A and B are shown apart, each in its own frame.
Chain A
Amino acid sequence: MVSKKPQTGGAVLFNVLQQHGVEHVFGYPGGAIMPIYDALYDSDIKHFLCRHEQGASFSAIGYARASQKVGVCLATSGPGATNLITGLADALSDSIPVVAITGQVAMASMGSDAFQEIDIFGLSLACTKHSFQVRDVNELAGILHQAFAIALEGRQGPVLVDIPKDIQSALVDEPVDNVCIAKPTLVNPEDNFLLKNEPANVGTALALFNQAKKPVLYVGGGVGMADAVTELREFISVTGIPSVSTLKGLGAVEPTDKCYLGMLGMHGTKAANLAVQQCDLLIAVGARFDDRVTGKLAEFAPNAKIIHFDIDQAEINKRRKVDVSILGDLKVNLPALAIPLSIQEWYGECQHMRESFAWRYDHPGENIFAPALLKEISSTMAKNTVITTDVGQHQMWSAQHMSFDHPTNFLTSGGMGTMGFGLPAAIGAQISRPDDMVIAVTGDGSFMMNVQELSTIKRFQLPVKIVLIDNSKLGMVRQWQDLFFDGRLSETDLSDNPDFVMLANAFDIKSKVITKKEQVSAAINEMLTHDGAYLLQVKIDATDNVWPLVPPNTANDKMMEST
């Protein structure tokens, strides 16, 4: 309702957020955002106080990714704003819709090197999809509407709105209400493929489909972002095409599909990489030929013609020249090109590769084998459990050995590879989906990067589970040092880590450490059935490596499988 009281910029902010259906925001107050926090005091929006602005930005990302809504975070000027930067970069790299609100010093002080003044508007250029600085309180509502539209339209991404302190407390001429406005229809008619694509492209694509004897579908994060999981699965069902996935695409293909070969690329499955190297048609769907996917680009899928489905024209021909591009919304374009294919022989070969190169979990000795533990968690947890990860060995093991039935159930920092992502992302996911279990799989290096967010878990009594794979090392860098730097282990030893159980207990979080295989099943059961937050510290051998591994500047079929 429109209040009769004069409305400040701060009140306008929260009313417009409510118009866009925002119920939860993540942030941290400070001097130059105090009028906004004063308005928050009267708002129905629930604010989650994080313990570092970077945590707030990752929680907003986790919230957005788990719920397919826009994530919102708030920070003050200067260091508050700069602490958001890593989260904005992460959201840009993984195309996540986030609206970040920063306080700025008052307009009269701007440009004077005032206390806690930084040109966040300038800093935002390289790490946002777009950014705004509000100069007139009467333009604030319109700018916020634009920010939400830009965050969501086309290829999604982060938008920053910088609001000077005097604008936050200035009164608007026309108050705005807080009534939620209707959601736009999911499929934009302008994204119809016939309008965006030359009919010749569609014809050529269909001809390539029909000619292909060994096609592979290369599924990226764009499928989940386009809310096109159902359409993708129908496409696979109609065409009978073998498929592989990027890190961010995991969950889009039904993991039980008989010809789904898993993740491709640097730590991809042998079956996925061999199939892509052998294929004669590669159909990229919402994927961008990232260097971690392609390995040596000149030798990636060397015999394949390429069809590229994407919403972002700038991705077409960026790294790999394509034969046909189909631009626009996958939700519309995938069904339009789904035709049955006659590829029984190839289907059989791929199915055979899936079976003969299946993961093996035999591991000598008593010590815990992280892939087996993660597989056991994956097969024990409830269907709609959300897994978040940090970055490193545990991340690749999670991608390889856990199964996800929707991209919103696997949240990992893909493009930016940001350590410290997992815990705050899990907090955001838990708040957006309070009825689902959320498990943060982390490593002893990554965990310490945003460990202060344990306090957010305590404050809001969030039942987040944490599985800390502990090798007392920066494991992935250690693995590379052993393999490619003559074993010169420079600055990767973390044997002086804190006592993680004691640390968790300090935040009222129940915790346990396990070191032997025989303890695994009971510990998983205890964690999953515990009513509340839980940290399971899993000690593993410091020398365990992630396999397979495609070495740098090497074709994907020349993967290392052990030392």
Chain B
Amino acid sequence: MQQHTLRITAQDQPTVLERLLQVTRYRGFIVTGMTMFPSVDESVLDIELTVQSDKSIDHLHHQLNKLIDVSEISVNESDALKCRA
């Protein structure tokens, strides 16, 4: 199982976290860590989502990118590591 970290900038809308988590679960990824920082003007959230799966992270990246409230998303490749599990 590969672990990956996604850096996400999203509109601070109700349900944005639910949407991210719902897509992540449905597409076959397990959340192993999540941190959220509201921006200064509170309209935007910076989210760091750590996930693991045996599926390609590209699939999740593209599916999350389709969410209307997600304005930017990137996979931090340097964080990718092989899990022992």
Contacts of B18 in A (CB 8 A): 122, 125
Known contacts A133-B14, A150-B68; A125/B19 CB under 8 A:
yes
Query: B54 in the interface, Cβ–Cβ < 8 Å?
Result: no
Residues B14 and A126 in contact, CB atoms below 8 Å apart: no
The DSSP consensus for interface residues of chain B is helix
Do the beta carbons of A125 and B65 come within 8 Å of each other?
no
Residues 318-345 of A contacting B (Cβ, < 8 Å): 318
Mark A310-321 against chain B: 1 for CB-CB distance below 8 A, else 0: 001110111000
Q: Which of B26, B63, B66, B68 contacts A126 (CB 8 A)?
A: B26
**Given A125-B22, A317-B58, A318-B59, also A312-B66 (CB < 8 A):** yes
> Taking CB as reference atom, which chain A residue is nearest B26?
A126
Bound Cα distance A133, B59 (Å) = 28
Q: Does B35 contact A (CB under 8 A)?
A: no
Given the known interface contacts A130-B68, A150-B68, the answer about A125 and B62 at a Cβ–Cβ threshold of 8 Å is no
Q: Mark B15-34, 1 if CB is under 8 A from A, else 0.
A: 10011001000100000000
A480 at the interface (CB under 8 A from B): no
Question: In the assembled complex, which residues on chain A have CB atoms less than 8 Å from the CB atom of B68?
Answer: 129-130, 150
Given contacts A126-B22, A130-B68, contact A121 B62 (CB under 8 A): no
Instruction: Tell me, in angstroms, the Cα distance from A316 to B68 when the chains sit together.
Output: 19
Q: In the complex, what residue of chain B is closest to A317 when comparing beta carbons?
A: B58
The docked-state distance in angstroms from the alpha carbon of A15 to that of B3 is 50
* Bound Cα distance from A122 to B14, whole angstroms: 10
A314 touches B66 (CB 8 A): yes
Within 8 A of B (CB), among A265-317: 312-314, 316-317
* Binary B-proximity of A234-274 (CB < 8 A = 1, otherwise 0): 00000000000000000000000000000000000000000
Residues of A within 8 A of B15 (CB): 121-122, 125, 131
- 8 Å CB interface, B26-66 against A: 26, 56, 58-59, 62-63, 65-66
Measured in the bound complex, the distance between the Cα atoms of B67 and A523 in whole Å is 51
* Residues on A with beta carbons closer than 8 Å to the beta carbon of B67: 130
Kindly list chain B residues whose C-beta atoms are within 8 Å of the C-beta of A317. Answer: 56, 58-59
Once bound together, how far apart are the Cα atoms of A131 and B67, in whole Å? Answer: 11
Assembled-state Cα–Cα distance A352/B9 (Å): 55
Most buried by B among A121, A125, A150: A125
Shortest distance from the beta carbon of A14 to any chain B beta carbon, whole Å:
24
Per the bound structure, the CA–CA distance linking A122 and B67 in Å amounts to 15
User: In the complex, which residues of chain B have a beta carbon less than 8 angstroms from the beta carbon of A150?
Assistant: 68
Distance from A130 Cβ to chain B, minimum over Cβ atoms (Å): 4
B residues near A312, Cβ cutoff 8 Å: 66
CB distance from B33 to the nearest CB of A (A): 22
What is the CA–CA distance of A122 and B56 in the complex, to the nearest angstrom?
27
CA distance A317 to B60 in the complex (A): 12
Chain B residues near A318 (CB-CB < 8 A)? 59
Q: Is the CB–CB distance between B62 and A314 below 8 Å?
A: yes
State A316–B22 Cα separation when bound (angstroms).
21
A130 to B19, CA, bound (A): 9
Complex contact B65–A314 (CB within 8 A) = yes
**Which of A121, A129, A318 lies at the interface centre, i.e. has the most chain B CB atoms within 10 A of its CB?**
A318
Interchain CA distance A450-B40 in the complex, whole Å: 52
Which B residues are CB-close (under 8 A) to A121?
14-15
Most buried by B among A312, A313, A316: A313
Q: How far is the CB of A163 from chain B (nearest CB, A)?
A: 15
Scan A121-165; emit 1 where CB is below 8 A from any B CB, else 0: 110011001110100000000000000001000000000000000
Min C-beta distance of B2 to chain A, whole Å = 16
Q: Which residues of A contact B63 (CB under 8 A)?
A: 314
Chain B positions within 8 Å of A126 at CB level: 22, 26
Can you list 25 residue pairs at the A/B interface with Cβ under 8 Å? A121-B14, A122-B15, A122-B18, A125-B15, A125-B18, A125-B22, A126-B22, A126-B26, A129-B68, A130-B67, A130-B68, A133-B14, A150-B68, A312-B66, A313-B62, A313-B65, A314-B59, A314-B63, A314-B65, A314-B66, A316-B62, A317-B56, A317-B58, A317-B59, A318-B59
Known: A121-B14, A126-B26. 15 other contacts (CB 8 A): A122-B18, A125-B15, A125-B22, A126-B22, A129-B68, A130-B67, A133-B14, A312-B66, A313-B62, A313-B65, A314-B65, A314-B66, A316-B62, A317-B56, A317-B58
Using a CB–CB cutoff of 8 Å, the interface residues on chain A facing chain B are: 121-122, 125-126, 129-131, 133, 150, 312-314, 316-318
